[in-house]
Amino acid sequence: MSAAHNLEVHGTPFEHGAQHERTVERWLRRVVELLAAAAVVAEVVILFVGIVARAVFHQPLIWSDELASTLFLWLAMLGSALAVQRSCHMRLTFFVSRLSPRGQAWAETLAVGASAAFLAMVLHPALDYVQDQAFAQTPALGWSGSVRALAIPVGCAAGLMSCALRLARHDWRDIAGVISLIALIAFGCYLAAAPLTQMGQGALLVFFVGFLGAAVVAGVPIAFAFSLATSAYLLSTTSTPLSVVVGRMDEGMSTLILLAVPMFVLLGQLVHVTGVARVMVAFLAALVGHVRGGMSYVLLGAMLLVSGISGSKTADMAAVAPVLFPEMRKRGMADGELVSLLAASGAMSETIPPSLVLIAIASVTGISIAALFTAGILPAIVLSLVLGVVAWWRAGQDESAPESSPKPVRAPWSQVGRTFVIALPALLLPVLIRSAVVEGIATATEVSTIGIAYSLAIGLLIYRGGLTWKAMMPMLLQTAALSGAILFIVGAACAMGWALTQSGFSHDLAETMTKVPGGAIGFLLVSIVAFIVLGSVLEGIPAIVLFGPLLFPVAHQLGINEVHYAMVVVLAMGLGVFAPPFGLCYYAACIIGEISPEAGLKRIWVYLGMLFLGLIAIAFVPWISTGFL
């Protein structure tokens, strides 16, 4: 009895401490969520009001871009903190997932601890950066630059507190091990500073191959792996203050073109919730669902249509797969075939506007986003035809299909007409988005708000799907978290790219690539292989943001059209992103389809192989990319 009593007495403070931590974490999350959601809504309203004032009343608001830019940095940093709270930051989990449960727990602690280490390291330089920006003033609003820059230390502080509260739930032995490892690495960098400096560009291999590679393989979020490698390199081999890293991250995240990212992420969720994607799929199924491989054609067509709205591959697959997979299973398609086709269609549609990767390319290379959007349609159609041929050949080849599978029946023309009339408002959405940009009503950054307003209107007045006030908050939070994760990667990659440029690596890389045998053709082939590998390891946007500024000038020097080169590298990167065993989006397709990853490992290579041949054809026929420019 006494022992039990002692346990109860001594356990009480720990229970109170844990309860206090949960309370603090709950309130911190609530504050960040409310601020992030408010920032998303404010951006939508500001951009839409700006369009109406300019296009309808012919009285442009001179302050709207400044306010949108200021709020955008706050949205990016609050979203990145929210992504920390929700574990939404992109990371490579292929190797970690193969560890024992004990090893996986340690790797999770390392991921959180490494993120906390960077946020703690950069917090004071971020405050210095705010003071530096205080001397700047916005022309229209007259606000100090510190109002905008303050978002960086606030976001870092919120992320750091979130990491600390998450670490408190981990095993103390794992925490001690991670702290010891980080301290050992920091001490090693301090002791080796002089030899590393003398190595010159050889130090790049230590930090951006060894250190960065080890961090990514260990499951550290990619954005924080970039940031830690860059900071460690600058602190060990240069006298550059970390406030420069903060400034470069700010510059990378603040490109106004990137404001399209959260807007299109929100639009993609609205398309799913309001039923817009569902009625599109229903029309396509009624039209061609009865022919050989018909439902596969429906999936390909639906991915093309939805990709032109949401801009996010995960949102595209989430909108299409739950609607189509049950019927496709009824018709005898095996799970491995389903996930293979879904993943291949995601890689196929990477260039369909408004692709987030195209937006990222425009932001880091200066290529016209309107030109990229125009060029991206035909390559995706070519690859969809390639996949259509594969789907036709694979139809009926599945030995696991049950003999009792129902034969597809042609839908009556009355049903086709009825589904078309129902889907017509939804089918007009991609046309509306494209026309608004072409006619000059809205920029590519603003046009998503027109799509949001239109989706809300048809969702509430026509389709009356699951759109309720209660459903809006989760969509806003998901938009903020996913956007914050993407934008933080862009900022980290820009800082890393700046460090590589200052080291002279960019110049040396350009010289090496210009000497690739075969001239422009050899460069294209090497780029295809490189971006397939980069896409599988770093995911799409980090690979593009990091290496785009380095390779696009080389392409231009070799006489390759930059828009054509953009199509080639984006599609190559898409192959890597969806290729097992490393491709992150392949596993996203498996999760969305509720299918084991092993089911598609043998079947997907036929689809990816044909996509690769289609990509080679696009690379050798530039007109496919530039014919409509």
Mind giving me the DSSP string for 90-136?
A: ----TTGGGS-HHHHHHHHHHHHHHHHHHHHHHHHHHHHHHHHHTT-
Return the top range by mean pLDDT from 135-144, 371-380, 452-461: 371-380
Between vectors from CA 38 to CA 32 and to CA 43, what angle results, nearest 5°? 125
Euclidean distance between CA atoms 107 and 174, whole angstroms: 9
Q: Is 521 exposed, middle or buried (0-12, 13-18, 19+ CB in 10 A)?
A: middle
Nearest CA among 279, 327, 324, 287 for reference residue 411: 287
How long, in residues, is the chain? 629
Please tell me what DSSP assigns to residue 597: G
Give residue 366's pLDDT.
Answer: 84
Residue in this structure with the two tokens 């001490």, named with its chain if needed: 187
Helices (H) and strands (E) in the chain, counts: 29, 0
> What is the average pLDDT across 471-476?
88
Phi-psi region for residue 594, left (φ > 0), alpha (ψ -120 to 50) or beta?
left
Beta bridge partners of 144: 137
Residue 9 reports pLDDT greater than 50? no
Euclidean distance between CA atoms 100 and 464, whole angstroms: 47
The pair phi, psi for residue 144, each rounded to 5°, is -70, 145
What is the amino acid identity at position 166?
Answer: R
Return the top range by mean pLDDT from 49-63, 88-102, 144-158, 400-414: 144-158
Model confidence band, residue 174 (pLDDT cutoffs 50, 70, 90): very high
Beta bridge partners of 137: 144
Model confidence band, residue 8 (pLDDT cutoffs 50, 70, 90): very low
The pair phi, psi for residue 56, each rounded to 5°, is -100, -50
Model confidence band, residue 10 (pLDDT cutoffs 50, 70, 90): very low
Residue 2 reports pLDDT greater than 50? no
Residue 510 reports pLDDT greater than 90? no
Quick check: 32 and 85 in contact, CB under 8 A?
yes
Q: Is 135 exposed, middle or buried (0-12, 13-18, 19+ CB in 10 A)?
A: exposed
Quick check: 295 and 289 in contact, CB under 8 A?
yes
Least confident window among 6-20, 122-136, 162-176, 199-213: 6-20
Least confident window among 155-169, 374-388, 522-536: 522-536
Per-residue pLDDT of 398-445, as tens digits, reads 544 445 455 667 778 888 889 899 889 888 887 887 788 767 787 767
Name the token pair of 211: 């250190």
Give residue 1's pLDDT.
Answer: 38
Between vectors from CA 386 to CA 448 and to CA 371, what angle results, nearest 5°? 35
Neighbours of 622 (CB within 10 A): 17
Neighbours of 562 (CB within 10 A): 18
Axis crossing angle, helix 540-557 with helix 562-577, rounded to the nearest 10:
150
End-to-end CA distance of the chain: 84
Model confidence band, residue 188 (pLDDT cutoffs 50, 70, 90): very high
Nearest CA among 167, 362, 116, 329 for reference residue 258: 362
SS3 state of residue 144: strand
Taken in order 126, 129, 134, 137, the sign of the CA dihedral is negative
Name the token pair of 16: 């109170």
Residue 603 reports pLDDT greater than 80? yes
Euclidean distance between CA atoms 546 and 386, whole angstroms: 30
Q: What percent of the chain clears pLDDT 70, i.e. is strictly above it?
A: 92
What is the amino acid identity at position 389?
Answer: V
* More confident of the two residues 434 and 27: 27
Give residue 303's pLDDT.
Answer: 85
Model confidence band, residue 625 (pLDDT cutoffs 50, 70, 90): very high
Question: Mean pLDDT, the chain, as a whole number?
Answer: 84
Per-residue pLDDT of 32-82, as tens digits, reads 999 999 999 999 999 899 888 888 888 888 888 889 889 999 999 999 999
Q: Is 91 exposed, middle or buried (0-12, 13-18, 19+ CB in 10 A)?
A: buried
The pair phi, psi for residue 137, each rounded to 5°, is -145, 135
Residue 126 reports pLDDT greater than 80? yes
> What is the average pLDDT across 365-393?
89
C-alpha torsion 305→575→104→26, nearest 10: -30
Residue 411: which residues within 8 A CB-CB, separation 6 or more?
Answer: 285, 286, 287, 289, 290
Radius of gyration of the chain (CA): 25
Give residue 398's pLDDT.
Answer: 53
The beta strand positions in 220-377, using DSSP E, are none
